[in-house]
Chains A and B, each alone.
Chain A
């Protein structure tokens, strides 16, 4: 019957003091990773690379020959 008295108070405060810094750190890391490495930067780079070599007129003519436009028919017709 000589167990030590357990901690009765301050339980929520202790939990928050432990978990909140971890939560904030993880969120910041996740945000930075998402921004810099996985989503935004690669996507920006992909768009930049695509439009560097983009010839709009050539693409338009290719699409026209494929026959998808209604205003301009392929040059054969």
Chain B
């Protein structure tokens, strides 16, 4: 336990190879997804761990050089150190892609399929509509609405010319 604590202070993921002792039952393997991970997000600009965990020899010597004066580092070395700690720069991670076109296309495809299903349903599953939808019935409804003077100021009956018994032009 103390060993894992000491290692976690340094921030390396070598903890995954160490063991955790639980009581007297022996070892419990630590899953990698339970440990801090590296993610490129705009909202969390400094990830929990560096990108490169296992440094090669030249990377290690670079890290040693980093402990000295930073003015002594050349531009390429500074970029190399950046790439050790981070996978993508902000510019790279924020750039857009054309994925939205695929997504929109997929959405429309499924709209079409759903439309076909709905059409089949309307034809073969549903029964007839109520008799109140017939044309004569609707005409009688309309006439009654006009007789009642429904919404005569700005609404329905305001469009009817009661003098000439026709719709207003």
Q: Does A50 contact B (CB under 8 A)?
A: yes
Known: A1-B75, A68-B144. A63 touches B149 (CB 8 A): yes
Question: From residue 32 to 53 of chain A, which have CB atoms closer than 8 A to chain B?
Answer: 43, 46-47, 50
**Quick one: CB contact mask for A60-76 with B, threshold 8 Å, 1 for yes?**
00110011100000000
A43 CB contacts on chain B under 8 angstroms: 154
**Do the beta carbons of A68 and B78 come within 8 Å of each other?**
no
**Do the beta carbons of B153 and A46 come within 8 Å of each other?**
yes
CB-CB nearest in chain B for A66 = B147
Question: From residue 146 to 165 of chain B, which have CB atoms closer than 8 A to chain A?
Answer: 147-149, 152-154, 158, 162
A77 CB contacts on chain B under 8 angstroms: none
A66 CB contacts on chain B under 8 angstroms: 147
**Do the beta carbons of A46 and B154 come within 8 Å of each other?**
yes
User: How many A-B contacts are there with CB distance less than 8 Å?
Assistant: 20
Q: How large is the interface on B (under 10, 10 to 19, 20 to 34, 35 or more residues)?
A: 10 to 19
- Which 6 pairs show the lowest CB-CB distances between chains A and B? A66-B147, A50-B153, A1-B75, A68-B147, A46-B154, A68-B148
Taking the nearest CB of chain B, how far is it from the CB of A60, in angstroms?
A: 10
**Do the beta carbons of B153 and A62 come within 8 Å of each other?**
no
Question: From residue 125 to 169 of chain B, which have CB atoms closer than 8 A to chain A?
Answer: 144, 147-149, 152-154, 158, 162
CA gap between A47 and B148 in the complex, in Å:
18
CA gap between A59 and B153 in the complex, in Å:
14
Taking the nearest CB of chain B, how far is it from the CB of A5, in angstroms?
A: 14
CB-CB nearest in chain B for A65 = B147
A1 CB contacts on chain B under 8 angstroms: 75, 78
CA gap between A62 and B152 in the complex, in Å:
14
Taking the nearest CB of chain B, how far is it from the CB of A51, in angstroms?
A: 8
**Do the beta carbons of A62 and B162 come within 8 Å of each other?**
yes
CA gap between A62 and B144 in the complex, in Å:
12
Taking the nearest CB of chain A, how far is it from the CB of B79, in angstroms?
A: 9
B154 CB contacts on chain A under 8 angstroms: 43, 46-47
CB-CB nearest in chain B for A54 = B152
Taking the nearest CB of chain B, how far is it from the CB of A1, in angstroms?
A: 5
